Amino acid sequence: MINAVLFDMDGVLLESFEAWASLVDAAARHFGHPPVTREAFRAVYGQPTQADVDHFFPGETVEGVEAYYEAHFAEHAAAAVVMPGAADVLTALERQGVPTAVITNTPSGLARQMLESASLAPVAVVGGSDVPKAKPAPDMVFRACEILGVEPWDALVVGDSPYDKQAAAAAGAPFAGIGGIEGNFTLSGLHQVLDIVEGTFK
């Protein structure tokens, strides 16, 4: 039985690649590093901030880069688009009494800012800054389940990357893949999350 749903953010609830790519490129210029192309950024998209530092901001601190991200994301927020069905699915789950969380490698403060700017309101947000190890480690799944008061095996993880799938598997949680990745359930759209919760998924 599914008692909670844990969503990845980027590529699942929000299509934010362009917003992130623009923000990271602006950060590179701010810190005096070479511009970051879309192609270069795609290779690390979805990974923790440490990956950005390693690839684009050598010598900078994760804390400094994350502070820049949080201070300047609003300048790039217009490029982030809510994924089809995201708002409706969150609302339907809330009405059914099924708690939701976002688990994202994005720092939690910035993740909340991004979700609020998109008018999306999960019960909880667990970001890369909230746990010892980001995805693909299971720490975020465990932390979200603790906050929501459910066991990992009763929480559906919805994601679009191998990091999401690996985190779910390591936590013992069922995984629903979207955007081309397969799982215990393979989704063609977010609306099918409701079918899984209701036990009618085909």
For 105-144, what is each residue's pLDDT tens digit?
999 999 999 999 899 989 999 998 899 999 999 999 999 9
Domain ranges of the chain: 4-15+81-198, 17-79
Tell me what the mean pLDDT of segment 141-162 comes to.
98
Report pLDDT for 155.
Answer: 98
End-to-end CA gap in the chain: 16
Please give the C-alpha separations between residue 167 and each of 24, 118, 128, 140, in angstroms, as whole numbers: 25, 25, 13, 8
Name the burial class of residue 78, with classes exposed (0-12), middle (13-18) and buried (19+) by CB atoms within 10 angstroms of its CB: exposed
Tell me what the mean pLDDT of segment 7-34 comes to.
96
pLDDT category of residue 82 using cuts at 50, 70 and 90: very high
Q: What is the pLDDT of residues 92-109, one digit of tens each?
A: 999 999 999 999 999 999
Report pLDDT for 189.
Answer: 96
Place of tokens 């063609």: 188
Angle at which helix 17-30 crosses helix 49-56, to 10 degrees, equals 50
For residue 22 the two structure tokens come to 């623009």
pLDDT category of residue 5 using cuts at 50, 70 and 90: very high
- In this prediction the pTM is 0.91
Tell me what the mean pLDDT of segment 43-72 comes to.
93
Please give the C-alpha separations between residue 82 and each of 50, 62, 95, in angstroms, as whole numbers: 26, 27, 20
Q: Which CATH class is domain 4-15+81-198?
A: alpha beta
48 pLDDT exceeds 90? no
Report pLDDT for 202.
Answer: 81
| Average pLDDT across the chain, whole number | 95
Report pLDDT for 46.
Answer: 83
Q: Alpha-carbon distance 27 to 33, whole Å?
A: 8
Residues 6 or more apart whose CB falls under 8 angstroms from that of 87 comprise 119, 120
Angle at which helix 139-148 crosses helix 162-171, to 10 degrees, equals 60
